[in-house]
Structure 1
Amino acid sequence: MKLQEAYFSESNAIGGWTMIGYKAPAASSAADSISTSGSNFDYSQQGSYTNGTITTASATALWQAKNKVVLNDCAVNDANVWQIKGTISNALVTFSASTSSICTPLTPTFSKIGQ
């Protein structure tokens, strides 16, 4: 979230992964990381960007990870994702993170991202 916060402070917009220089796990470079696949997870940039940025956002999904393998009780299905959303309001950007309740025990502090 530090990359997004720094980008927002200079541009008043949320930047796509390439714009902010974020490299997703399993990506060889930031340019390759909009959608990547690792051993256990698929990672993807979420949201609809214009020229690499989002200037208005209301709980817009920005980042997502989806498990490719069964992880304890966390089955492989479309409902089991780790996701970060961004909101722009009153010239401020805030972030919230969530995952399905069945997968929360795997990453109990994930929901603290952005707080």
Structure 2
Amino acid sequence: MQQAYISEDGSIGTWALIGYKGPGNVTATSSKTTNFSYTDGVEAKADLPEQDKIGWTAENNVQLNDCGAKSKWTIAMKKAAASSGNAAAGDAIFTAKVGGDQGDAGCTALTPSFDKIGK
């Protein structure tokens, strides 16, 4: 939904602006289920950033198999560089990660294709 909003408006938007609602009990900027808490990383409509901006985070509230509680799944976005080939105005790059920079093998096993989002 964020990609569609970027394509149409040329900027990033909050969950409310892009028409997204997280699962479970929902507020304007977050939602929560038994196992996960989800957070909107965009505070207000803004230009597509030059550097990675976390736009969506999920954090597990409980341990899930070998994935410790409070591990995070994130999706960051940034403007595609003009030098990246056929990047047009408003093109975005999305980067999905599980855990920190080194990842989290126990959590990655739960969502093995999560890091393919945006590819």
Find 2:38's aligned residue among 31, 36, 43.
43
* Corresponding residue for residue 63 of structure 2: 70
RMSD: 1.5
- Using the TM superposition, give the Cα deviation of residue 12 of structure 1 relative to its aligned residue in structure 2, in angstroms: 0.6
Measured against aligned partners, the alpha-carbon deviations of 1:70-111 in whole angstroms (never above 9, x if no partner) come to 10011113xx10000000134211111010223100000000
* Structure 1 runs of 4+ with >6 Å offset: none
Equivalent residue number for residue 3 of structure 2: 5
Q: Greater CA radius of gyration, 1 or 2?
A: 2
User: Matched residues, percent identical?
Assistant: 37
Where in structure 1 are there 5+ consecutive unaligned residues?
A: none
Equivalent residue letter for 1:76: A
Structure 2 unpaired stretches of 5+: 83-88
Counterparts of 1:72 and 1:12 in 2: how far apart (Å)? 40
Aligned length: 105
Alignment of 1:1-115 (within 5 A): 3-28=1-26, 32-47=27-42, 49=43, 52-57=44-49, 58-77=51-70, 80-89=71-80, 90=82, 91=89, 92-100=91-99, 101=104, 102-115=106-119
Task: Please give the per-residue CA displacement for 1:11-58, whole angstroms capped at 9, x wherever unaligned.
Answer: 110111000000101145xxx2411211100110114x3xx3120421
